Amino acid sequence: MEPLAELDARYSSEDATAPPWPEAEAMLAAAELFWISTVRPDGRPHVTPLPAVWSEGALHFCTGPEERKARNLERNANVVLTTGTNTWNKGYDLVVEGEAVRVTDDGRLRELAAAWEEKYGSFWHFEVREGYFHHGAGHAVVFSVAPRVVLGFGKGEPFSQTRWRFE
Protein backbone atom coordinates (compact mmCIF):
# COMPACT_ATOMS: atom_id res chain seq x y z
CA MET A 1 0.00 0.00 0.00
CA GLU A 2 1.27 3.40 -1.00
CA PRO A 3 1.62 6.09 1.68
CA LEU A 4 -0.61 9.13 1.46
CA ALA A 5 1.04 12.47 0.85
CA GLU A 6 0.08 15.21 3.32
CA LEU A 7 0.95 18.76 2.32
CA ASP A 8 1.67 21.02 5.30
CA ALA A 9 0.01 24.30 4.37
CA ARG A 10 1.91 26.16 7.12
CA TYR A 11 5.16 25.74 5.19
CA SER A 12 3.88 25.61 1.63
CA SER A 13 3.00 28.21 -0.98
CA GLU A 14 -0.72 28.64 -1.64
CA ASP A 15 -0.51 26.96 -5.04
CA ALA A 16 1.71 24.06 -3.89
CA THR A 17 0.61 20.47 -4.28
CA ALA A 18 1.96 17.33 -2.64
CA PRO A 19 3.90 15.17 -5.07
CA PRO A 20 2.57 11.63 -5.38
CA TRP A 21 4.72 8.99 -3.66
CA PRO A 22 6.03 7.47 -6.95
CA GLU A 23 7.70 10.83 -7.75
CA ALA A 24 9.41 10.96 -4.35
CA GLU A 25 10.40 7.30 -4.67
CA ALA A 26 11.97 8.01 -8.08
CA MET A 27 13.98 10.87 -6.56
CA LEU A 28 15.25 8.55 -3.81
CA ALA A 29 16.25 5.95 -6.40
CA ALA A 30 18.10 8.52 -8.54
CA ALA A 31 19.91 10.37 -5.72
CA GLU A 32 23.65 9.72 -5.70
CA LEU A 33 24.58 11.02 -2.26
CA PHE A 34 22.84 10.82 1.11
CA TRP A 35 23.74 12.21 4.52
CA ILE A 36 23.22 9.70 7.32
CA SER A 37 22.55 10.80 10.90
CA THR A 38 23.09 8.36 13.76
CA VAL A 39 23.39 8.81 17.52
CA ARG A 40 26.63 8.25 19.44
CA PRO A 41 26.52 6.31 22.74
CA ASP A 42 26.73 9.59 24.69
CA GLY A 43 23.73 11.03 22.78
CA ARG A 44 25.65 13.34 20.43
CA PRO A 45 24.71 13.19 16.74
CA HIS A 46 27.02 11.81 14.06
CA VAL A 47 26.50 12.81 10.40
CA THR A 48 28.41 11.65 7.33
CA PRO A 49 27.81 11.35 3.56
CA LEU A 50 27.47 8.02 1.78
CA PRO A 51 25.98 6.42 -1.35
CA ALA A 52 22.79 4.41 -1.02
CA VAL A 53 20.46 2.42 -3.23
CA TRP A 54 16.67 2.29 -3.16
CA SER A 55 15.36 -1.27 -3.52
CA GLU A 56 12.10 -2.98 -2.60
CA GLY A 57 10.73 -0.01 -0.68
CA ALA A 58 13.82 0.75 1.39
CA LEU A 59 17.11 2.62 1.29
CA HIS A 60 20.24 0.49 1.63
CA PHE A 61 23.72 1.60 2.64
CA CYS A 62 26.94 -0.10 3.60
CA THR A 63 29.71 0.75 6.03
CA GLY A 64 32.75 -0.83 7.60
CA PRO A 65 31.77 -2.67 10.79
CA GLU A 66 34.25 -0.60 12.84
CA GLU A 67 33.13 2.79 11.48
CA ARG A 68 31.41 5.19 13.87
CA LYS A 69 27.99 4.88 12.18
CA ALA A 70 28.04 1.06 12.40
CA ARG A 71 29.04 1.18 16.05
CA ASN A 72 26.30 3.76 16.72
CA LEU A 73 23.70 1.54 15.06
CA GLU A 74 24.62 -1.37 17.33
CA ARG A 75 23.18 0.64 20.25
CA ASN A 76 20.49 2.69 18.53
CA ALA A 77 19.08 1.62 15.16
CA ASN A 78 17.12 4.85 14.60
CA VAL A 79 18.51 6.69 11.62
CA VAL A 80 17.81 9.62 9.29
CA LEU A 81 19.01 9.75 5.69
CA THR A 82 18.74 13.01 3.74
CA THR A 83 19.33 13.91 0.11
CA GLY A 84 18.54 16.79 -2.21
CA THR A 85 20.13 19.90 -3.61
CA ASN A 86 22.37 22.35 -1.82
CA THR A 87 20.36 25.34 -3.01
CA TRP A 88 17.66 27.50 -1.48
CA ASN A 89 15.47 28.46 -4.41
CA LYS A 90 15.32 25.32 -6.58
CA GLY A 91 15.28 21.56 -6.25
CA TYR A 92 13.75 19.10 -3.85
CA ASP A 93 15.06 17.68 -0.57
CA LEU A 94 14.00 14.39 1.01
CA VAL A 95 14.40 13.18 4.59
CA VAL A 96 13.90 9.47 5.34
CA GLU A 97 13.35 8.45 8.96
CA GLY A 98 13.46 4.79 9.95
CA GLU A 99 15.28 1.94 11.64
CA ALA A 100 18.47 0.46 10.18
CA VAL A 101 18.22 -3.34 9.96
CA ARG A 102 21.29 -5.38 9.02
CA VAL A 103 21.00 -7.41 5.80
CA THR A 104 22.86 -10.74 6.11
CA ASP A 105 21.24 -13.03 3.53
CA ASP A 106 23.85 -13.65 0.81
CA GLY A 107 21.19 -13.91 -1.93
CA ARG A 108 19.73 -10.52 -1.03
CA LEU A 109 23.22 -9.07 -0.66
CA ARG A 110 24.09 -10.23 -4.19
CA GLU A 111 20.99 -8.42 -5.50
CA LEU A 112 22.05 -5.27 -3.64
CA ALA A 113 25.66 -5.57 -4.83
CA ALA A 114 24.37 -5.67 -8.41
CA ALA A 115 22.20 -2.59 -7.71
CA TRP A 116 25.22 -0.69 -6.33
CA GLU A 117 27.33 -1.49 -9.36
CA GLU A 118 24.50 -0.64 -11.77
CA LYS A 119 23.94 2.72 -10.10
CA TYR A 120 27.52 3.78 -9.26
CA GLY A 121 29.73 1.85 -11.71
CA SER A 122 32.46 -0.75 -11.40
CA PHE A 123 34.31 1.08 -8.60
CA TRP A 124 31.45 -0.10 -6.38
CA HIS A 125 31.80 -3.78 -7.31
CA PHE A 126 31.28 -5.98 -4.25
CA GLU A 127 31.80 -9.69 -3.74
CA VAL A 128 29.37 -11.27 -1.26
CA ARG A 129 30.45 -13.82 1.35
CA GLU A 130 29.16 -14.81 4.78
CA GLY A 131 26.77 -11.88 5.20
CA TYR A 132 29.16 -9.10 4.10
CA PHE A 133 30.11 -7.04 1.09
CA HIS A 134 33.80 -7.51 0.27
CA HIS A 135 35.76 -4.87 -1.65
CA GLY A 136 39.52 -5.15 -1.94
CA ALA A 137 41.00 -6.01 1.46
CA GLY A 138 37.99 -4.70 3.39
CA HIS A 139 34.46 -5.79 4.12
CA ALA A 140 31.26 -3.94 4.91
CA VAL A 141 27.97 -4.53 6.65
CA VAL A 142 24.81 -3.61 4.75
CA PHE A 143 21.75 -2.00 6.31
CA SER A 144 18.19 -1.57 5.05
CA VAL A 145 16.04 1.38 6.14
CA ALA A 146 12.33 1.04 5.43
CA PRO A 147 10.83 4.50 5.91
CA ARG A 148 8.54 5.26 8.84
CA VAL A 149 8.19 8.83 7.61
CA VAL A 150 9.54 10.67 4.58
CA LEU A 151 9.55 14.46 4.48
CA GLY A 152 9.82 16.34 1.19
CA PHE A 153 10.79 19.99 0.78
CA GLY A 154 10.08 21.72 -2.52
CA LYS A 155 12.29 24.79 -2.94
CA GLY A 156 11.50 27.75 -5.14
CA GLU A 157 8.01 28.81 -6.10
CA PRO A 158 5.98 27.02 -5.17
CA PHE A 159 7.67 26.11 -1.88
CA SER A 160 6.21 23.03 -0.24
CA GLN A 161 6.53 20.62 2.65
CA THR A 162 5.08 17.13 2.27
CA ARG A 163 4.96 14.20 4.69
CA TRP A 164 4.47 10.58 3.67
CA ARG A 165 3.62 8.24 6.57
CA PHE A 166 4.19 4.49 6.34
CA GLU A 167 2.45 1.84 8.42
Indicate the residue type of 76: N
Nearest to 103 by CA among 65, 131, 70, 138: 131
Q: Where exactly are the structural domains of the chain?
A: 5-165
Cβ-defined contacts of 78-81 (< 8 Å, 24+): 78/39, 79/36, 79/37, 79/38, 79/143, 79/145, 80/36, 80/37, 81/34, 81/35, 81/36, 81/37, 81/52, 81/145
pLDDT average per 10 residues of sequence, the chain (167 residues) = 90 94 97 98 97 98 98 97 95 98 98 98 95 94 98 96 93
Identify the DSSP state of 160.
E
pLDDT digits (tens, 9 = 90+) for 49-71: 999 999 999 999 999 999 999 99
Q: Which CATH class is domain 5-165?
A: mainly beta
Torsion sign (Cα): 15, 16, 21, 25? positive
